Chain A
Amino acid sequence: MEGTGPGAVALSPWQLVLAASLVLIAGGISFALRLGLEKRLALASLRTVVQLLLVGVILRWVFRLEHVLPVLGVVLVMTIIAGRAAVQRSGRTFPGATWRAVVTLVLSAWLTAVLVTGAIIQIEPWYKPQYLIPLLGMILGNALTGISLCLDQVLQSLAGQREQVEMELAHGATRWEAARAPLADAVRRGMIPIINSMMVAGLVSLPGMMTGQILAGEDPFKAVEYQIVVMFMIAAATSLGCMLIAVLVYHRLFNARHQLLSDLITKRQN
């Protein structure tokens, strides 16, 4: 199969079909236990195939062009989708949440990815799509989880603990003093998944990028080196993203008169 690494086993279309039959096992269990998941499982499988094939076609085209503009176009679309997903996963929202999540991802994920490709791995040029796009994809996937958890926590706290926050404001606390505890809790919650992943890295399962490199025939130690860079990169982007979204939420939900605008927080209709 074109594009596989030197040590990777090339997969034929039949082998992909065989892999798809694995989903039939899950579908069969769902049917037997009357879980009612068959349709959703089928749709999810179809979406996986279509989306990945489409991405494959686009990436092959972008990789061949090796021009900065298509690369930026792809990463922008990835970032907007990630920003929307981060907000949609939160149980509550507020006006302007999506663009704030996108800005957060641009500032945290892009900055980290460019730093890694340009300064750490030292790719020439820094936007080389074979490196930038998968690395940014990994950062976005993890950062959006952290940002959505952080967003969910901070909105839940400010909506549910309005009386506590206003009590502090009523006794002369500045908006920052009143908001600091809920914001810190939210950043902490957003960081939990990546910290947990780092704690058990390599012990419970081999991380995705490392697995991919080993499957592609790379020396395990070299794969480990890359994985360490990836884990640190994700940790940096997630922590930066959580802090940024918390600060942006703070600026939207507290005004210059040091009032909490909790009315702006609404529950998401699922």
Chain B
Amino acid sequence: MTEPLLQIEGFAVAANGIPLLRDVAISLGTGERVALTGPSGCGKTTLLRAIAGLIDPVAGSVRLRGQTPETFGWPAFRRRVILVAQRPVLLEGTVCQNLSRPFRYATAKTVFDEPRALDLMAQLLLEPGRMTQEALSLSEGQRQRICLLRALLAEPDVVLLDEPSSALDDAAAEAVDVVVRREARQRGLAALIVSHERGRITESCDRVMDLTSAKGAA
């Protein structure tokens, strides 16, 4: 049996001391896309934040290629398992400066590839001229796609996508779905995609896991 790319076992998360999810087990293979669904407030976002190590889980463990995040070092682990938050966060500066920023970190192993960024921008229905635009002047939907693009350019093993199409129209949501699928097929990118409702992106995933029961084993 091949070792899963990302293994989450016995995970329990809480927010402000209130237990949200428990006994969550997720196994994600290379190139696999798994959708996590559940009602608003059930703990999906908290679960993704805990998997990324931005907060501590109440219980449970995460392993990437069979190794704990401590083995990689937390920054290096997060470089391989990138969380794209629901609210798109961009910093002051141009789109290009935002996209190239993660390549300044000590964990960066590659350099910013602008032609690839422009190619992915086109696939995400963003005009090339956006590259020099002030990032904070973009619309919510454009920001959401730039944030996804920023994560993909870092070439992680896994992306944790929190409601990736919440601010997108149908065409843009379709484009996001196509790009993630292509990255999964071509590069082996695995994706854990959270959504409060079943939609285009969750439907096209390899598996859908409902967190309503707060217990899962996908």
| Most interface-central of A168, A170, A172, A258 (chain B CB within 10 A) | A172
| Most interface-central of B74, B101, B106 (chain A CB within 10 A) | B74
Q: How far is the CA of A59 from the CA of B190 in the complex (A)?
A: 71
Interface positions, chain A 162-210, Cβ under 8 Å from B, are 163-164, 166-174, 177
Is B52 within 8 A of A173, CB to CB?
no
| Most interface-central of B75, B107, B108 (chain A CB within 10 A) | B75
With A257-B53, A259-B54, A259-B55 known as contacts, the answer to whether A171 contacts B102 (CB < 8 A) is: yes
Q: Which of B80-88, B175-183, B205-213 sits within the interface?
A: B80-88
Is B75 within 8 A of A258, CB to CB?
yes
Is A166 within 8 A of B91, CB to CB?
no
Is A170 within 8 A of B76, CB to CB?
no
Interface positions, chain B 71-98, Cβ under 8 Å from A, are 74-76, 78-79, 82-85, 87, 89, 91
**Chain B residues near A164 (CB, 8 Å)?**
89, 91
Q: How far is the CA of A173 from the CA of B55 in the complex (A)?
A: 15
Is B79 within 8 A of A171, CB to CB?
yes
Q: How far is the CA of A163 from the CA of B150 in the complex (A)?
A: 16
The number of chain A residues with a CB under 8 A from chain B is 16
**Chain B residues near A169 (CB, 8 Å)?**
54, 75, 78
Is B149 on the interface with A (CB-CB < 8 A)?
Answer: no
**Chain A residues near B108 (CB, 8 Å)?**
172
Q: How far is the CB of A169 from chain B (nearest CB, A)?
A: 6
Q: How far is the CA of A172 from the CA of B55 in the complex (A)?
A: 15
Name the CB-closest residue of A to B81. Answer: A170
| Most interface-central of B89, B104, B107, B108 (chain A CB within 10 A) | B89
**Chain B residues near A173 (CB, 8 Å)?**
75, 102, 105, 107
Is B87 within 8 A of A170, CB to CB?
no
Interface positions, chain B 50-77, Cβ under 8 Å from A, are 52-56, 74-76
Is A170 within 8 A of B75, CB to CB?
no
Binary per-residue interface labels of chain A (128-171) against chain B in the complex, 1 for a CB within 8 Å, 0 otherwise: 00000000000000000000000000000000000110111111
Q: How far is the CA of A163 from the CA of B49 in the complex (A)?
A: 12
Is B54 within 8 A of A171, CB to CB?
no
With A172-B154, A257-B74 known as contacts, the answer to whether A166 contacts B54 (CB < 8 A) is: yes
Is B151 on the interface with A (CB-CB < 8 A)?
Answer: yes
Is B85 within 8 A of A170, CB to CB?
yes
| Most interface-central of A164, A167, A260 (chain B CB within 10 A) | A167
Q: How far is the CB of A217 from chain B (nearest CB, A)?
A: 55
Q: How far is the CB of A263 from chain B (nearest CB, A)?
A: 8
Q: Which A residues have a C-beta under 8 Å from some C-beta of B?
A: 163-164, 166-174, 177, 257-260
Q: Which B residues have a C-beta under 8 Å from some C-beta of A?
A: 52-56, 74-76, 78-79, 82-85, 87, 89, 91, 101-102, 104-108, 150-151, 154
6 A-B Cβ contacts within 8 A?
A170-B84, A171-B101, A171-B102, A172-B76, A257-B56, A258-B74
